[in-house]
Structure 1
């Protein structure tokens, strides 16, 4: 089953189209708050969570918080709202009025930060709910808001974020520069990219989707999540090692034999029936001593004709592990990779030093080539800094695919 992941602007466009169909923003706010509060009541009662603090900012996310406060108050929970100075949104003001009508205790966040406040005197709550910022946040937080987030994170009790942990960029998953450390996040309408990439997973906790309205089919997802587990097919009783594919690992410069050994063993763990390694002959003894089921060839003893013949016996190739970056390695890259990129019957994983040489000798990759850089290698390929890649990993991987074609996996979160 695939689940769609969206850019924050797509979610906002989704909302605007919904409002254009005579649906109100206030109604959506109330629906989100009611749905979330209904999902909280049973686990709160089960875990004896009674005293709840809801921290509200200045925008629509805060409106969700005020309505959640009112709905939970109606079910007998003891609610305190710590409130920022109100923004100009009419929906937010109505949400505050509804909370007051339900006798919700509303206190000032600013007082908590003042010199007169004693942080030790903040009551102990069973749960703190973050409704400070939503998905529109795209700037670095000033010192005041950083202090609020640090104060929230320092409290004892379950921590829940509404839509996205405040301080986290909805598209990149970057903390700006700090974010709410949630145990659970209830994200509204659709999954946002920042919940899964960058630093997102460090802050989100257990993730719940609050769908609310029909999916807008005009919106193209940014990416997809797959919940399918990768399960190796059951081996047939009459099968043999030749029935399950032959993987070739190419690399292993004189002082980097470990890379090809680990890659070869990983190929067996992934289900390959046969695995061969082409590397410096000095590594052969170590390879066979560790894994005698691996076949070895001397990389220096193979000419182009022999390589082409060998590739006819292979189903997949892992290229570049421990290859090195000297003149010898460059010769190996140019001799081997042009053949691999042109050979459409092979699945090719290009990694490590192979990526470094791709940056040095750029070419368009065929669809059967899977390049697997980490952020440092991706930066080399794009001519930027690793920090630029980490700042927006999704943009980075799109740029890699546009520049080099092929298939790309950016390591990391």
Structure 2
């Protein structure tokens, strides 16, 4: 069973249904605090932690913090509480009294009076949907600047629970103990900068009314074994089309990636300016001059292929537009697996069309904004809404690239948790296009798009083992070869 990810509103409604069956909200708060304690005892032993500051806000998340402080004190830790003005919730006030009964020092405000080994964030829960004012921003900056292990209860305060966007800042936690179930905002957008290690505190049974918004893409991917009697014709023929006269690198990287992933044959169609460079790097790549092909030539070529990736380095000038118009409808009518990336997406945005389920579209946020005729900030502020809007407008299968890449495939949403910031460099999308076309050419429906995206991300993690700074896309082929064969 894949790990399910939920919208905060659905989790809150599920929680209310639980309370409606006469289950105690305060009892659940106690369970949360006790469960976090059990995890912290082992963690604190590992990190030799004895002094803890618990930062409590004004809502139920703060109640978890007060009770956790109580339990920590009972287990022999030195604990101080830094607190906002107490809210009116009866559960919160009861938790506050329990902490007071343990003679825990409660300081008004969040100016730390000494150094601590650990700071626990219990300021805001998953209901936060507003931009934090200057006062709360300063509180979060103060927590982040404190040199201590940082632990967030439920979600790092300031992080939007469904989009993964800071509002406009958030606590940078080393560990996040999220309550009841996983939230989408822990895995996409800018979440990875803030969440640290994520563990779920599962306390109540899921009911039939609770529905997931997404699933986490699995990272243990096994490809079908090659048959001993296979030959180059057994493993797919990939066509790579792009390569404007001034942009040859993209098609080279896509083609090399396709071979690294196991394609039997790869043909590149691009401007002839790049043929010498391509053959000098990879003489196993077959070549055709894009300017010399007639419509009949294109149709004949497509009939020989199993998959195509189109648009890498194509350009956006009149020559590129002419090539797009010559190829696009023929590609869509070919019944091949098709990967559309880069400049093909730009032209598609100019002339929207409906795609089949064999077409895989792979925009980054800027390209997605162009496709949706909106701003990049609109995409990034709600990536899940954006990818569903892309599907609604164009059909097809979708990948919205970025940290916590989203994959909407056969009407199921997946979140990729692999990958790293070093992959934010030119050419990574071209590598992914070649990889996707190669694996689809070889395995057809036996491999899913979310598995392909994850393999690409895992290869990036393999490449980044020696450091993320200076990671270059053209080096990915060796990492892909290694990952594919694990």
Relative to the length of structure 2, the TM-score reads 0.81
Match of 1:349 in 2: 339
Match of 2:38 in 1: 38
Q: Measure the CA separation in 1 of the matches of 2:31 and 2:166.
A: 28
Match of 1:150 in 2: 141
Please say if 1:320 is aligned against 2:311: yes
Q: For 1:44, what is the secondary structure of its paired residue?
A: helix
Match of 2:235 in 1: 244
Q: For 1:394, what is the secondary structure of its paired residue?
A: helix
Q: Measure the CA separation in 2 of the matches of 1:343 and 1:269.
A: 25
Match of 2:259 in 1: 268
Count how many residue pairs are aligned between Structure 1 and Structure 2: 403
In structure 1, the gaps of 5 or more residues are 113-118
Please say if 1:129 is aligned against 2:117: no
Q: Find 2:320's aligned residue among 309, 329, 333.
A: 329
Please say if residues 55 and 83 of structure 1, whose CA atoms lie closer than 8 Å, have aligned partners that are also in contact. Answer: yes
Q: Measure the CA separation in 1 of the matches of 2:201 and 2:252.
A: 46
Please say if residues 52 and 127 of structure 1, whose CA atoms lie closer than 8 Å, have aligned partners that are also in contact. Answer: yes
Please say if residues 232 and 271 of structure 1, whose CA atoms lie closer than 8 Å, have aligned partners that are also in contact. Answer: no
Match of 2:80 in 1: 80
Please say if residues 308 and 339 of structure 2, whose CA atoms lie closer than 8 Å, have aligned partners that are also in contact. Answer: yes
What whole-Å deviation, never above 9, does each CA across 1:64-93 have from its counterpart, x for those lacking one? 111111111111111111111011110000
Please say if residues 66 and 81 of structure 1, whose CA atoms lie closer than 8 Å, have aligned partners that are also in contact. Answer: yes
Q: For 1:181, what is the secondary structure of its paired residue?
A: coil
Please say if residues 61 and 131 of structure 1, whose CA atoms lie closer than 8 Å, have aligned partners that are also in contact. Answer: yes
Deviation at 1:327, TM superposition (A): 2.1
What whole-Å deviation, never above 9, does each CA across 1:83-133 have from its counterpart, x for those lacking one? 1101111000011111112222211116x3xxxxxx6xx211111100000
Q: Find 1:375's aligned residue among 360, 365, 372.
A: 365
Q: Measure the CA separation in 2 of the matches of 1:216 and 1:226.
A: 23
Q: For 1:409, what is the secondary structure of its paired residue?
A: strand
Deviation at 1:236, TM superposition (A): 3.2
Match of 2:268 in 1: 277
Q: For 1:139, what is the secondary structure of its paired residue?
A: coil
Deviation at 1:211, TM superposition (A): 1.2
Q: For 1:367, what is the secondary structure of its paired residue?
A: strand
Q: For 2:352, what is the secondary structure of its paired residue?
A: coil
Structural mapping, 1:93-112, within 5 Å? 93-109=93-109, 112=111
Match of 1:200 in 2: 191
What whole-Å deviation, never above 9, does each CA across 1:255-312 have from its counterpart, x for those lacking one? 1111100111111222212111011112111111111111111112222222222222
Q: For 2:162, what is the secondary structure of its paired residue?
A: coil
Please say if residues 239 and 266 of structure 2, whose CA atoms lie closer than 8 Å, have aligned partners that are also in contact. Answer: yes
Max radius of gyration: which structure?
Answer: 1
Q: Find 1:291's aligned residue among 271, 277, 282.
A: 282
Match of 2:226 in 1: 235
What whole-Å deviation, never above 9, does each CA across 1:335-381 have from its counterpart, x for those lacking one? 2111222222x111100010011011110011110111111111111
User: What RMSD in Å do the two structures reach over aligned CA positions?
Assistant: 1.3
Q: For 1:171, what is the secondary structure of its paired residue?
A: coil
Deviation at 1:324, TM superposition (A): 1.1
Please say if 1:406 is aligned against 2:433: no
